[in-house]
């Protein structure tokens, strides 16, 4: 296991080892960033060498794709654009819909919002379990043949579902939560990715800011922040998990980095086929995250971190029952 500070391969394209998850600019953690603030962040990421920008139709129900289209379309040749389909809002309601006709229609909507002729990597955001995965991936394969998308990805799927999908059309990447405190991908799907030649794109690699030591008090969160509904952030679990941070802070000091950089460096060391996509709304945090590529961890440090955040020591599941029912990932 080695960290490369140059590039990693994603859908046959070299990208910087750390991408940018764009969700937080529009969705999930409170009010959307102001247009000027969001533009500064996106262009700042581009100027600092980020070459993978990840969005979805879900994020702000189109707002995030529109933002990226407005800001980044003039620079389209400088980065890989990833988006997601299968979750959207219609008539004021959120839908998970993997029917082929829906995926074709919503792809056209995304292309329009993103101001592009083609999406480099297009994920099925959630597998609609009422539709065979083969049918949904078949529709995405049609979009590849039509030149609307270049590569197919899946999000939050199991190894079995990945293999079924890959039999229809090669899957270039699986996006799933992966971090020191969320290691479910290690059960089976990471191994399946490697067998099939798919990259693992890790969302929430900083544990939704927890691993970056960025949540001293849950009271600071916006009333609409999705973490308020997550088991790990409930008062009792959150208090127990806080006890894990002091040993991590000590390790970070020993390595001359921040806790967040330590968490990202650990993830990068898990394989050159893993690409973290931390999100942020602040340029200072962006620069900090990108600096993780230069943090060197030996095997002993990686093992110590893994033991510190062993699943038996982390309080609370990553999702509540309703959210867990929407995904297809393996569970411990």
Residues 178-197: tens digit of each pLDDT? 999 999 999 999 999 999 99
Of 3 and 245, more confident: 245
- Residues whose CB is less than 8 angstroms from the CB of residue 35 and which lie 6 or more positions away in sequence, other chains included: 67
Q: What is the model's pTM?
A: 0.96
Mean pLDDT for 264-281 is 98
Mean pLDDT for 3-30 is 91
Note whether residue 2 is domain-resident: no
Angle 14-15-20 from CA coordinates, rounded to 5°: 160
Note whether residue 331 is domain-resident: no
CATH number at residue 241: 3.20.20.100
Please give the share of the chain, as a percent, with pLDDT higher than 70.
98
Going by pLDDT thresholds of 50, 70 and 90, the confidence category of residue 220 is confident
Check: CB of residue 176 under 8 Å from CB of residue 189: yes
> What is the rounded distance in angstroms from the CA atom of residue 317 to the CA atom of residue 184?
11
Number of domains in the chain: 1
Residues 289-321 pLDDT 10s: 999 999 999 999 999 999 999 999 999 999 999
Q: Is 59 a catalytic residue?
A: yes
> What is the rounded distance in angstroms from the CA atom of residue 246 to the CA atom of residue 165?
42
> What is the rounded distance in angstroms from the CA atom of residue 4 to the CA atom of residue 1?
10
Residues 60-115 pLDDT 10s: 999 999 999 999 999 999 999 999 999 988 787 889 999 999 999 999 999 999 99
Output the CA–CA distances (angstroms, integers) from residue 47 to 36, 189, 243, 278, in the order listed: 16, 34, 37, 17
pLDDT of residue 1 exceeding 90: no
Note whether residue 184 is domain-resident: yes
Residue 2 pLDDT: 38
Note whether residue 127 is domain-resident: yes
Residues 145-190 pLDDT 10s: 999 999 999 999 999 999 999 999 999 999 999 999 999 999 999 9
pLDDT of residue 238 exceeding 80: yes
Residue 6 pLDDT: 85
pLDDT of residue 4 exceeding 60: no
Note whether residue 105 is domain-resident: yes
HSE, CB side, 13 Å, CA atoms: give it for residue 322.
3
Please give the share of the chain, as a percent, with pLDDT higher than 90.
92
Whole-number mean pLDDT of the chain?
96
One-letter-per-residue 3-state SS of the chain: CCCCCCCEEECCEEECCCCEECHHHCCCCCCCCCHHHHHHHHHHHHHCCCCEEECCCCHHHHHHHHHHHHHHHHHHHHCEEEEEECEEEECCEEEECCCHHHHHHHHHHHHHHHCCCCEEEEEECCCCCCCCHHHHHHHHHHHHHCCCEEEEEEECCCHHHHHHHHHHCCCCEEEEECECCECHHHCCHHHHHHHHCCEEEEECCCCCCCCCCCCCCHHHCCCCCHHHHCHHHCHHHHHHHHCCHHHHHHHHHHCCCCHHHHHHHHHHCCCCCEEECCECCCHHHHHHHHHHHHCCCCHHHHHHHHHHCCCCCCCCCCCCHHHHHHCCCCCC
Note whether residue 209 is domain-resident: yes
Residue 5 pLDDT: 56
* Active-site option among 59, 122, 178, 319: 59
Of 249 and 90, more confident: 249
Residue 54: name the closest of 196, 133, 155, 171 by CA.
155
Could you tell me the two tokens for 168? 């229809």
Domain interval for residue 213: 12-326
Task: Please state the φ and ψ torsions of residue 125, each to the nearest 5 degrees.
Answer: -65, -40
> What is the rounded distance in angstroms from the CA atom of residue 141 to the CA atom of residue 120?
13
Sign of CA dihedral 263, 267, 270, 272: negative
Residue 219 pLDDT: 86
Residue 209 pLDDT: 96
pLDDT of residue 3 exceeding 70: no
Could you tell me the two tokens for 178? 């992966």
Could you tell me the two tokens for 113? 């919002």
Could you tell me the two tokens for 261? 């950089």
Residue 90 pLDDT: 79
Note whether residue 7 is domain-resident: no
HSE, CB side, 13 Å, CA atoms: give it for residue 93.
4
Check: CB of residue 125 under 8 Å from CB of residue 85: yes
Note whether residue 271 is domain-resident: yes
């Amino acid at each position: 296991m080695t960290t490369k500070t140059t590039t990693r391969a994603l859908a046959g394209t070299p990208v910087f080892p750390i991408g940018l998850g764009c969700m937080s600019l529009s969705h999930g953690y409170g009010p959307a960033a102001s247009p000027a603030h969001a533009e500064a962040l996106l262009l700042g990421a581009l100027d600092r060498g980020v070459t993978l920008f990840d969005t979805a139709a879900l994020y702000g129900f189109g707002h995030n794709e529109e933002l990226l289209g407005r800001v980044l379309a003039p620079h389209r040749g400088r980065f890989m654009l990833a988006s997601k389909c299968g979750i959207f809002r219609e008539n004021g309601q959120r839908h998970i819909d993997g029917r082929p006709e829906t995926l074709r229609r919503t792809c056209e909507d995304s292309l329009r919002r993103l101001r592009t002729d083609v999406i480099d990597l297009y994920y099925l955001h959630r597998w609609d379990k009422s539709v065979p995965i083969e049918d949904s991936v078949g529709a995405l394969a049609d979009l590849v043949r039509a030149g609307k998308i270049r590569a197919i990805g899946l999000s939050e799927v199991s190894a079995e579902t990945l293999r079924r999908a890959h039999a229809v059309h090669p899957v270039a990447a699986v996006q799933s939560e992966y971090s020191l405190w969320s290691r479910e991908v290690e059960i089976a799907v990471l191994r399946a990715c490697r067998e099939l030649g798919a990259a693992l794109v890790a969302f929430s690699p900083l544990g939704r800011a927890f691993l970056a030591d960025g949540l001293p008090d849950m009271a600071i969160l916006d009333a609409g922040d999705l973490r308020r509904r997550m088991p790990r952030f409930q008062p009792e679990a959150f208090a127990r998990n806080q006890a894990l941070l002091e040993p991590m802070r000590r390790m970070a000091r020993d390595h001359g980095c921040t806790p967040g950089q330590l968490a990202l460096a650990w993830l990068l060391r898990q394989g050159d086929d893993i690409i973290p996509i931390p999100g942020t709304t602040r340029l200072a945090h962006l620069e900090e995250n990108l600096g993780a590529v230069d943090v060197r961890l030996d095997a002993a440090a990686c093992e110590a971190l893994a033991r510190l955040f062993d699943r038996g020591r982390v309080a609370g599941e990553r999702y509540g029952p309703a959210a867990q029912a929407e995904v297809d990932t393996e569970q411990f």
